[in-house]
C-alpha cells in the first residue's frame, strides 16, 4: 500500500515571497502520478500541478513548480511570488498508473495549511 507524508502541518509566508511545501511517499511501483491539490477555505479542492513519474523533468505551472526526486521518493512544491489567494490547505497525492485495480484513486497526505500574509 502506498503512503504519503506531509511533515509540515502549517506554513506561513509573506506576500511576494517564495515558499516550499514538502512531501514524501512510499511505494514499490515504478509507474505513477504525483499531484498537489489546493483546498481553499470552504471551497472545493482543485489541481495545482501534476508530475508523471517516468518524466525526469520537473513540472511547472506558472508560479508553481515541483522538485521531484524519484530515488528519494520526495515531491516538494515551490510557490513563487506568493499571493494572498494562495492561502489554502495543500495536499500531496499519489496515484498508481499500473492499471489493474487502481482505477485512478488518489492517496492523500495529511495536508499543509499555508497562510500568505500581506
Partner 1 sequence: DTGVSQDPRHKITKRGQNVTFRCDPISEHNRLYWYRQTLGQGPEFLTYFQNEAQLEKSRLLSDRFSAERPKGSFSTLEIQRTEQGDSAMYLCASSLASWDDQGDTGELFFGEGSRLTVL
Applying CB under 8 A, the residues found at the interface with partner 1 are: 4, 6, 9, 33, 35, 42-47, 50, 91, 93, 95, 97, 99, 101, 103-111
For partner 1, give the closer residue by CB, 19 or 111: 111
Minimum distance from residue 117 beta carbon to partner 1 (Å): 21
The residue with cell 510557490 is: 79
DSSP 7: -
- Closer CB to partner 1, 44 or 62, in the complex: 44
* Residue 88 contacts residue 71 (beta carbons within 8 Å): no
Measure the CA–CA gap between 16 and 118, rounded to whole angstroms.
Answer: 9
Amino acid at each position: 500500500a502506498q503512503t504519503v507524508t506531509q511533515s509540515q502541518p502549517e506554513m506561513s509566508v509573506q506576500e511576494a515571497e517564495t515558499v516550499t511545501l514538502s512531501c514524501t511517499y512510499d511505494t514499490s511501483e515504478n509507474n505513477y502520478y504525483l499531484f498537489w491539490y489546493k483546498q481553499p477555505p470552504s471551497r472545493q479542492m482543485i489541481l495545482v500541478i501534476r508530475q508523471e513519474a517516468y518524466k525526469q523533468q520537473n513540472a511547472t505551472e506558472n508560479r508553481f513548480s515541483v522538485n521531484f526526486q524519484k530515488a528519494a521518493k520526495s515531491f516538494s512544491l515551490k510557490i513563487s511570488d506568493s499571493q494572498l489567494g494562495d492561502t489554502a490547505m495543500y495536499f500531496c497525492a499519489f496515484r498508481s498508473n499500473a492499471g489493474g485495480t487502481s482505477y485512478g484513486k488518489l492517496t492523500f497526505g495529511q495536508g499543509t495549511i499555508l497562510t500568505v500574509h500581506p
